[in-house]
């Protein structure tokens, strides 16, 4: 979900989603001796021994809650906080390709004939035609595993059971809005420049440090590669869980597009009005926070918003709005039996 580090010497925290500069930052942390945020959280929790943490076990398993708690703490609220963001569509396709390869036996790339068939299936689905199938495909095992993933649980888990696929851009912006003066947002394309400016070669790190670390770095691109797109088309876009037309046809309440659209809307707002336009971003959140499914896309997202709003002293009206939305969330869960999240901590 997140890889979080603390550069104690410079009083700087790094909040880094998987598939968004996490490997690069992990190498920085290893070489410069940064602490993990988990250690900082445990140390501070033991110092404070606040009663609410001891009654909410989710803090131990939810990295985002730990970040919010430290971000609002007296000790660390004035620290430097940095997070890297990326086009959520590109990030998801990159993460899904990795997850399908590792956990679902998907190939790293899809043959052209199967992509052609997938394109035909997608075109026909818009017209209401569903008579094309991947019969006798060499990747039928992968298809079966994907189907089993969705059919074996009442929760439509579009993360594919892997933290790499967790949608985090909206969460990152919520953290920023809680402490905009100290919580800096950096686009992934500017990550290397940021590190070189703050940890100069020949001064903080050895002269050739960045050349060495960037040898294994994935090529950054804001547009999904043809390989990622091909994997997504073949194994996901043609299924009833990802295709909105097919989802509606089989009676699903939501589809993948509902799951990812919130993140895309946030990214579009940033691209149109800039990262620092907090007023425009806040207005967008005011609308999104009214929608129950925004919280219920994954139980750890729900925990971040609901437990964060009820247990951590926040400054913005946005988390107050979360509290107002909780009754609607409960009703939404009751009306949509496929949702499987733990609500007992709040209700």
DSSP per-residue string spanning 67-134:
HHHHHTSTTTTTSEEEEEE--HHHHHHHHHHHHHHHHS---SS--HHHHHHHHHHHHHHHTT------
Give mean pLDDT, residues 121-141. 83
DSSP string, 279-317: HHHHHHHHHHTT-HHHHTTSHHHHHHHHHHHHHS---SH
> Where is average pLDDT lowest: 64-73, 171-180, 187-196, 310-319?
310-319
> Where is average pLDDT lowest: 21-25, 84-88, 310-314?
310-314
DSSP string, 197-260: HHS-BTTTB-TTHHHHHGGGPPPP-SS--HHHHHHHIIIIITSTTT-HHHHHHTT-S--HHHHH
Tell me the pLDDT tens digit for each residue of 26-39: 999 999 999 999 99
Give mean pLDDT, residues 73-84. 96
Tell me the pLDDT tens digit for each residue of 219-243: 667 789 999 999 999 999 999 999 9
Contact 167, 266 (CB under 8 A): no
pLDDT above 70 coverage of the chain, percent:
91
pLDDT band at 311 (very low <50, low <70, confident <90, very high): confident
Domain extents for the chain?
1-93+164-228+254-347
Length in residues, the chain:
347
63 alpha-carbon distance from chain centroid: 12
Q: Give dist(CA 182, CA 250) in Å, integer.
A: 47
User: Token digits for 125?
Assistant: 């689905």
What is the SS3 assignment for 66? helix
Q: Select from 162, 172, 160, 180 the least CA-distant residue to 64.
A: 172
Identify the pLDDT of residue 314: 83
How far, CA to CA in Å, does 150 sit from each of 213, 240, 339? 38, 10, 12
Identify the pLDDT of residue 56: 61
User: Token digits for 333?
Assistant: 């869960």
Q: Give dist(CA 321, CA 106) in Å, integer.
A: 42
The residue assigned the tokens 């993360």 is 159
**Who wins on pLDDT, 336 or 37?**
37
Mean pLDDT of the chain: 89
Torsion angles phi and psi, residue 112, rounded to 5: -60, -35
C-alpha torsion sign, points 30, 300, 158, 175: negative
The DSSP letter of residue 266 is: H
Q: Select from 39, 266, 298, 289 the least CA-distant residue to 173.
A: 266
DSSP string, 130-190: -----TT-TTHHHHHHHHHHHHT-SS--TTTT-GGG---HHHHHHHHHHSTTTEEEEEGGG
Q: Select from 13, 98, 91, 25 the least CA-distant residue to 267.
A: 91
Q: Select from 242, 243, 234, 224 the least CA-distant residue to 101.
A: 234
Q: Give dist(CA 67, CA 69) in Å, integer.
A: 5
């Amino acid at each position: 979900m997140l890889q979080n580090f603390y550069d104690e010497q410079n009083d700087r925290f790094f909040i880094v989603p998987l598939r968004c500069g996490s490997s690069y930052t992990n190498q920085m942390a290893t070489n410069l001796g940064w602490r993990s945020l988990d250690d900082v959280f445990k140390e501070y929790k033991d110092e404070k021994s606040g009663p609410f943490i001891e009654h909410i076990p989710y803090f131990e398993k939810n990295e985002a809650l730990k970040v919010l708690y430290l971000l609002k703490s007296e000790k660390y609220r004035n620290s430097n906080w940095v997070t890297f963001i990326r086009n959520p569509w590109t990030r998801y396709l990159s993460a899904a390709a990795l997850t399908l390869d590792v956990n679902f036996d998907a190939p790293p790339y899809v043959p052209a004939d199967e992509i052609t068939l997938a394109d035909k299936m997608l075109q026909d689905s818009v017209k209401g035609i569903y008579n094309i199938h991947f019969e006798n495909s060499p990747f039928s095992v992968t298809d079966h595993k994907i189907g089993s993933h969705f059919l074996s649980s009442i929760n439509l888990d579009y993360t594919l059971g892997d933290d790499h696929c967790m949608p985090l851009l909206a969460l990152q912006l919520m953290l920023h809005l809680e402490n905009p003066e100290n919580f800096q947002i950096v686009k992934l394309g500017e990550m290397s420049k940021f590190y070189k400016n703050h940890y100069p070669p020949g001064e903080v790190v050895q002269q050739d440090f960045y050349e060495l670390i960037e040898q294994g770095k994935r090529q950054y691109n804001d547009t999904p590669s043809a390989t990622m797109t091909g994997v997504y088309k073949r194994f996901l876009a043609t299924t009833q869980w990802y295709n909105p037309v097919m989802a509606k046809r089989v009676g699903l309440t939501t589809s993948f597009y509902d799951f990812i659209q919130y993140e895309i809307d946030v990214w579009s707002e940033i691209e149109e009005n800039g990262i620092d336009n907090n007023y425009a971003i806040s207005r967008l959140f005011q609308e999104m926070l009214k929608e129950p499914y925004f919280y219920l896309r994954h139980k750890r997202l729900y925990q971040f918003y609901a437990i964060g709003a009820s247990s951590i002293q926040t400054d913005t009206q946005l988390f107050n709005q979360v509290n107002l939305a909780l009754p609607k969330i409960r009703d939404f869960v009751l009306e949509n039996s496929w949702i499987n999240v733990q609500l007992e901590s709040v209700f």
